[in-house]
Amino acid sequence: MKKIFGRPKSMTDKPFHYCPGCGHGIVHRLIGEVIDELGIQDRTIGVPPVGCAVIMYHYFNIDMTEAPHGRTPAVATGIKRVHPDKVVFTYQGDGDLAAIGTGEIIHAANRGERITTIFVNNTVYGMTGGQMAPTTLLSQKTTTTPLGRDARLIGYPIKISEMLAITDGSIYIERVAVNKPANIIKAKKAIKKAFQVQLEDMGFSMVEVLSQCPVNLGMTPQKAAEWIDNTLIKTYPLGVIKDKSGE
Amino acid sequence: MAEKVLMCGNGAVGEGAIQAGCRHYFGYPITPQNELTAYMAERLGELGGVFIQSESELAAINMVFGASAAGARAMTSSSSPGISLKQEGISYIAGAELPCVIVNVMRAGPGLGDITPSQADYFQAVKGGGHGDYRLITIGPASVQELYDWTARAFYLADKYRNPVMILGDGFLGQMMEPLEIRKIKELKLPPKTWALTGAKDRSANVIRTLMLKVGELEAHNKKIQNKYKRIEKELVEYETVLTDGADIILVAYGMCARICKESVFLLRKEGIKAGLIRPITLWPYPSAIIRKISNHVRYILTVEMSAGQMVEDVKLAVLGRCPVHFYGRMGGGVPTSEEIVNRIKELEAKGQKGTKKREYR
C-alpha cells in the first residue's frame, strides 16, 4: 500500500502536551513539514520560547536550545553568527516576543539577522494561566483584566508585525492564522517562504500566526477558532505585511 | 621572542581573548571598560571574526549564550551596572553548563554610582549573582600582564569545565598602562564539543536546556554541577604569597588592592613589623586552605578591599576564629594607599592586638 501521509521526518513521535484545541501543535507540524520539504533537517537549529512551547525540542529531530524569556532572538543571533550556513529559527509567543522581549526582536529585525521567527499570537499568556498579553484585544477579559482590557489603563493591542515591518533589516513579514484548513494551508506557505528568505541570505523574516488558546480564552475549541475569524482578525488583519524578497 | 607592547588593561584582556581563539564578542558600551569593546571591534574586524554591539547587556549575554551553544569561544564584557543586567543570562549559561568568558571591570556603586574603580561586586561574582545554585570561576588579576594571561587561560578553563569564567578587574586595572608581553598561547588538549548545536547531521539532535520538569531530574542536575564545583575547588585554586614565612601579621587582598598591600608589607618590614601578604588569584574557588593554615601562626589578619567588606567574609570563613580578622576598606571609588594600610596596622598594634603568637587550637 502506498503511504500518502505521515509524520514529518524532522519530528519525533512524542505526543504533544498541548491542551485540546491549542494551535501550537498545528504550527509545530507546519514547521516540521517545511523543514522536510526544504531538506534542511540536518542543518536547522531552533530556539523555543519560555511559555507553553518551551519543550518543543521534544517534538523535533533538530538541534535546539532554550533561551531566557524574551531573549530568544539574541540567542538565535549568537548561533547564526557562529554558523551562517545553518538555518536558525525562533519560536515565540506573544508574551515572549511582544512584552519581555520587545527590545531583542526589534533589534534582531533591524540588524537584518538571517533568522526566521515564528510568532504565535493567541492574545493571552497561556503557560502562566491566562493573564493579559500586549496583544490582548480591547475589552477582552483575562485574569489580569477581569473587566476587560481598558485602553486608558493599559494601552492598546500592539501590532508587532507592522512595527517590525518598518525596520529596514526585515525582508518578509506575513500574518496568518491556524483556525481552519484554508488558513492553515496559507500559513504553511508563509512559513516556507520565511525560511526561503533566510536560505537566500536576504535578512530577517517573520510569520505571525494567529492561534487559539481555548482554555485561557474560556471557549470551546470550535468557538475559539470562530472567534479568530469573527473578532481577532479585525484588529490583526491577515496577509503579507512586508515582502522585499523580490527586490 | 614574544612581542612587547605598552597596553592598557582593557586592551590586554582583548588581546588575551584573541590569542585564545575567541572570534565572537558581544557587548554594550559602559565606562570604564570601553577600550575593550573598541579593541574587540578592531581586532575582530581585522581577523574576520564577529563583533556585535548589542542593544543591551541582556542581549549581549544571550548572544554569548547562543554563540557558546553553537560551539564557539565567546566573550562579553561590561562594568558593574551592566553586569547586574547580565545576571539573568549568566544563571542560564551556568545552568546549561556552557563555556564562556565574562569580564567585569568594576566601578563604584550601588546604582549608577560613578566610573571610578571598586571591588564591590565581589559577592555578586563569587556567590552567584543570578538565581539558583551556581558558581562562576572567578579570577582576580592584578596587572596588565595577568589580565592578558588569565583571559587567555579563562577560555581554556571555561571549555575544560563547561562553565562560565569571570575576569574580575576594576577601573584602575582596566585603564592603567603597563608593558605587556604578548606570549603565544599554547592550546591544551580538550575534549571535542560533541554537545554543541551544529545541526543534527549524522547524529541525533542536541538539545541545550535548563528546564527539567521530571521529578528528581533537576535535583540530579544540580547535584551533578555541584560535584563539578567540588572538582574545580580541588583542581584550580591559585594564589600568591609575599613574605608569609614567619610573618606575624598577614594582609589578604586581591587585584589592585593586593598590589598596594604589597607595598605596605615592604613599608612595615622596614619598621620591623613582620607583615606578609596572601593574594587570592582565583576568587572562586577561594584559597581558603592556605589562609586557614597560616591563621594558626599569625597574630591577626587584615583584609583590604575597595568595598565595605565582602571578601573579608571568606577570609573569616577560612580562619574560623583561629585568629582575629580585621578589615580596612574604601568605597565609592576611594583607593587605599599603602600608607593608610600601614597606619591601620599601627593602630591595631597600638590597640594591643599583639596577643600570643601561638594558638594551636585547630
Angle at A30 between CA A26 and CA A36, to 5 degrees: 145
CA distance B279 to B238: 9
Q: How far is B259 from chain A (nearest CA, A)?
A: 38
Angle at B160 between CA B151 and CA B28, to 5 degrees: 40
Nearest residue on chain B to A107, alpha-carbon basis:
B55
CA distance B105 to B268: 30
Looking at residue B1, what is its pLDDT?
62
Task: Give the CB-side neighbour count of residue A140, counting CA atoms within 13 A.
Answer: 27
Which among A198, A227, A213 is positioned nearest to A118, based on CA atoms? Answer: A198
Looking at residue A247, what is its pLDDT?
84
Are A239 and A175 a contacting pair, CB within 8 Å?
A: yes
Partnered with residue B328 across adjacent β-strands are B304
- Over residues B310-325, mean pLDDT: 98
CA distance A25 to A202: 29
Q: At which residue does the C-alpha cell 503579507 appear?
A: A240
Looking at residue A1, what is its pLDDT?
86
Looking at residue B354, what is its pLDDT?
54
- Asked whether the beta carbons of residue B59 and residue A68 sit closer than 8 angstroms, the reply is no
Residue A168 has a CB neighbour count (10 Å cut-off) of 12
Q: At which residue does the C-alpha cell 587585584 appear?
A: B255
Model confidence, pTM = 0.97
Looking at residue B207, what is its pLDDT?
98
Angle at B253 between CA B247 and CA B255, to 5 degrees: 135
- The model's confidence at residue B201, banded by pLDDT at 50, 70 and 90, is very high
Higher pLDDT, B358 or B142: B142
- Asked whether the beta carbons of residue A104 and residue B50 sit closer than 8 angstroms, the reply is no
- The model's confidence at residue B353, banded by pLDDT at 50, 70 and 90, is low
CA distance A79 to B69: 7
CA distance B242 to B334: 24
With beta carbons under 8 A apart, name residues in chain B contacting A106. 55
Give per-residue pLDDT as tens, B253-275. Answer: 999 999 999 999 999 999 999 99
| Candidate from A71, A82, A111 with C-beta closest to B67 | A82
With beta carbons under 8 A apart, name residues in chain B contacting A76. 66
With beta carbons under 8 A apart, name residues in chain A contacting B206. 63-64
Looking at residue B187, what is its pLDDT?
87
- Asked whether the beta carbons of residue A82 and residue B96 sit closer than 8 angstroms, the reply is no
Give per-residue pLDDT as tens, A24-80. Answer: 999 999 999 999 999 999 999 999 999 999 999 999 999 999 999 999 999 999 999
Radius of gyration for chain B, computed over Cα atoms and rounded to the nearest angstrom:
21
- Asked whether the beta carbons of residue B74 and residue A78 sit closer than 8 angstroms, the reply is yes
Residue pLDDT tens, chain A, 247 long: 899 999 999 999 999 999 999 999 999 999 999 999 999 999 999 999 999 999 999 999 999 999 999 999 999 999 999 999 999 999 999 999 999 999 999 999 999 999 999 999 999 999 999 999 999 999 999 999 999 999 999 999 999 999 999 999 999 999 999 999 999 999 999 999 999 999 999 999 999 999 999 999 999 999 999 999 999 999 999 999 999 999 8
- Asked whether the beta carbons of residue B199 and residue A63 sit closer than 8 angstroms, the reply is yes
List residues of chain B with CB under 8 Å from any CB of chain A.
24, 26, 50, 52, 54-56, 58-60, 62-72, 74, 88-89, 92, 96, 197-202, 204-211, 213
Under DSSP, the state recorded for A229 is: I
Q: What are phi and psi of A94, to 5 degrees?
A: -75, -30
- Asked whether the beta carbons of residue A78 and residue B96 sit closer than 8 angstroms, the reply is no
Partnered with residue B239 across adjacent β-strands are B280
Looking at residue B10, what is its pLDDT?
98
Looking at residue B356, what is its pLDDT?
47
Q: Note the residue count of chain A.
A: 247
| Candidate from B24, B201, B208 with C-beta closest to A82 | B24
Q: How far is A107 from chain B (nearest CA, A)?
A: 7
| Candidate from B59, B92, B209 with C-beta closest to A104 | B59
Q: How far is A135 from chain B (nearest CA, A)?
A: 23
| CA-to-CA dists, residue B146 to B39, B149, B245, angstroms | 18, 5, 24
Give per-residue pLDDT as tens, B220-245. Answer: 999 999 999 999 999 999 999 999 99
Which among B75, B232, B247, B220 is positioned nearest to B157, based on CA atoms? Answer: B232
Work out whether strand B177-182 and strand B3-8 pair parallel, antiparallel, or are unpaired: antiparallel
Angle at A161 between CA A159 and CA A164, to 5 degrees: 110
- Over residues B84-103, mean pLDDT: 98
| CA-to-CA dists, residue A88 to A110, A169, B156, B355, angstroms | 17, 16, 27, 67
CA distance B338 to A60: 62
- The model's confidence at residue B360, banded by pLDDT at 50, 70 and 90, is very low
| Candidate from A64, A78, A86 with C-beta closest to B62 | A78
| Amino acid found at B120 | A
- Asked whether the beta carbons of residue A54 and residue B67 sit closer than 8 angstroms, the reply is no
Kindly tell me if the per-residue pLDDT of B7 is higher than 80. yes
CA distance A229 to A237: 10
- Over residues B293-305, mean pLDDT: 97
CA distance A176 to A210: 6
Looking at residue A206, what is its pLDDT?
98
| Candidate from A55, A57, A77 with C-beta closest to B66 | A77
CA distance A215 to B241: 65
First to last CA, chain A: 46
Which among B357, B330, B345 is positioned nearest to B265, based on CA atoms? Answer: B345
ipTM, 2 dp:
0.97
- Over residues B12-21, mean pLDDT: 98
List residues of chain A with CB under 8 Å from any CB of chain B.
41-45, 47, 54-55, 57, 60-68, 71, 74-83, 86, 103-104, 106-107, 111
With beta carbons under 8 A apart, name residues in chain B contacting A100. none
Looking at residue B295, what is its pLDDT?
97
Percent of chain B with pLDDT over 70: 97
Work out whether strand B100-106 and strand B74-78 pair parallel, antiparallel, or are unpaired: parallel
First to last CA, chain B: 49
Looking at residue B37, what is its pLDDT?
98
- Over residues B169-186, mean pLDDT: 96
Give per-residue pLDDT as tens, A153-168. Answer: 999 999 999 999 999 9
Are B101 and A110 a contacting pair, CB within 8 Å?
A: no
Looking at residue B3, what is its pLDDT?
87
Mutate to test the interface with A, among B197, B208, B211 (most CBs of A within 10 A): B197
Nearest residue on chain B to A90, alpha-carbon basis:
B66
